[in-house]
Amino acid sequence: MLDVRKSPELQAVILLLKTAAAPVRKEMRAGARRELNATWKPTLQQFAKTAQQQKVIVRGARAKVGSDNFQMLAATSRRSLSGGLNPATQWHGAEFGANPKRVEVSIRGNRRTQIAGRNFGPRQQRGKVAFPAARKVGPRIVAAWVNGIVKGLARGNKNLETR
76 HSE (CA, 13 A, CB side): 10
Instruction: Give me the chain's average pLDDT, please.
Output: 88
SS3 (DSSP) at 142 = helix
Residue 106: φ, ψ to 5°: -120, 115
pLDDT of 116 higher than 70: yes
Q: Residue 72: name the closest of 46, 26, 31, 41 by CA.
A: 41
**Confidence band for 109, pLDDT divided at 50, 70 and 90:** confident
Q: What is the mean pLDDT of residues 99-103?
A: 89
pLDDT band (50, 70, 90) for residue 149: confident
For residue 1, name the pLDDT band (cuts at 50, 70, 90).
low
In angstroms, the CA 106 to CA 100 distance is 19
